[in-house]
Amino acid sequence: MRFAVILMSVSPYMAANPWCAQHLTTPSMHFFAHYQYRPSSHARSMSQDKGTFVRMKCLILLLACGAVGWAQRCDPELGAENLARSGAASQSSTYGITPIPEAGKAIDGITRTNFHDHSCTHTSNDRPAWWKLDLKRRVKVKSVVIVNRQDCCPERLIRAQVMIGNSADGNNPICGTITDVSKASITLCCDGMEGRYLSVTISDRAEYLTLCEVEVYEEDMKKEPVPCWE
Ligand SMILES: [Ca+2]
């Protein structure tokens, strides 16, 4: 075994499985190995050194907890409800062209990334430039997906902050800051941040703020991971 990595599954089936992990020897995963304590077999050997057993169990627990952030991706599941569609949007100003690139263009369900397809917002050169969404109820937000403009100037969204909370004026905790605009779709994991109001704000400079779509997905409490050590 040349490399060893301890992984934790978030599958609920793990709770029903007496194996916490198992050795993997397939060629495609030759550098991964799961460590497993199997009470019926290994317990006898571990009983010879209870201290070692406890220490190793704690080590696995710590590593597993550290791996949670890696294991729990926040990408919305297929068919998940986009709560933004039933919200109400506003923005710091609206750029003076026709058709009007109003705030609601970011929650119209159309994810086209060409501004000239008339489904993106556009503010004036504001400081701060902001877009806000009233979700109309408190939500534990799992993730926010932002679709950025691609026909021009995607870099305008750099350092935009997504904030979530219950303050209607937008002064809320930060879920994340956009630092990478290499892809049209940007997903921010909010880890269950709770709030009724969501905002996207560029405050460090005067900037045009354009959003082709903003999607909001709620934390799914039914899919909480079952710790494998229980
Ligand atoms: Ca849109």
Q: Look up the CATH number of the domain holding residue 173.
A: 2.60.120.260
| 164 and 59 fall within a common domain | no
Which pLDDT does position 59 carry in this prediction?
A: 54
Tell me the per-residue pLDDT of 143-181, one tens digit each, with 9 for 90 and over. Answer: 999 999 999 999 999 999 999 999 999 899 999 999 999
Q: Which of 71, 93, 120 is the last residue of a domain?
A: 71
For residue 57, report the distance from its CA to the centre of ligand 1, in Å.
49
Say whether pLDDT at 24 is over 50: no
Distances, alpha carbon 222 to alpha carbons 8, 11, 28, 41, 219, in Å: 19, 12, 32, 33, 9
Residue ranges making up the domain that contains 20:
12-71
Tell me how many domains the chain contains: 2
Say whether pLDDT at 13 is over 80: no
| 28 and 97 fall within a common domain | no
For residue 85, report the distance from its CA to the centre of ligand 1, in Å.
10
For residue 115, report the distance from its CA to the centre of ligand 1, in Å.
9
For residue 202, report the distance from its CA to the centre of ligand 1, in Å.
19
| 161 and 215 fall within a common domain | yes
Phi, psi for 186 (deg, rounded to 5): -120, 120
Say whether pLDDT at 124 is over 60: yes
Residue whose entry in the numeric block shows the structure tokens 């879920």: 175
Average pLDDT, the chain: 79
Give me 206's structure tokens: 């005067």
For residue 105, report the distance from its CA to the centre of ligand 1, in Å.
5
Per-residue pLDDT, averaged over 47-54, amounts to: 54
For residue 6, report the distance from its CA to the centre of ligand 1, in Å.
42
Q: Which of 71, 103, 122 is the last residue of a domain?
A: 71
Distance of CA 70 to the CA centre of its chain: 11
Say whether pLDDT at 81 is over 80: yes
Beta strand 88-91 pairing with 213-218: unpaired
Helix (H), strand (E), coil (C) string for the chain: CCCCECCCCCCHHHHHCCCCCCCCCCHHHCCCECCCCCHHHHHHHHHHHHHHHHHHHHHHHHHHHHHHHHHCCCCCCCCCCCHHHHCEEEECCCCCCCCCCCHHHHHCCCCCCCHHHCCCCCCCCECCEEEEEEEEEEEEEEEEEEECCCCCCHHHHCCCEEEEECCCCCCCCEEEECCCCCCCEEEEEEEEEEEEEEEEEECCCCECCCCCEEEEEECCHHHCCCCCCC
Asked if the structure places residue 50 within a domain, the reply is yes
| 17 and 116 fall within a common domain | no
For residue 108, report the distance from its CA to the centre of ligand 1, in Å.
5
Angle between the 39-46 and 50-71 helix axes, to the nearest 10 degrees?
130
| 174 and 93 fall within a common domain | yes
| 35 and 135 fall within a common domain | no
| 37 and 115 fall within a common domain | no
For residue 107, report the distance from its CA to the centre of ligand 1, in Å.
6
| 97 and 130 fall within a common domain | yes
| 104 and 186 fall within a common domain | yes
Asked if the structure places residue 109 within a domain, the reply is yes
Asked if the structure places residue 77 within a domain, the reply is no
Q: Which of 51, 71, 91 is the last residue of a domain?
A: 71
For residue 100, report the distance from its CA to the centre of ligand 1, in Å.
13
Asked if the structure places residue 1 within a domain, the reply is no
Which pLDDT does position 97 carry in this prediction?
A: 94
Asked if the structure places residue 172 within a domain, the reply is yes
Asked if the structure places residue 43 within a domain, the reply is yes
| 29 and 135 fall within a common domain | no
Asked if the structure places residue 203 within a domain, the reply is yes
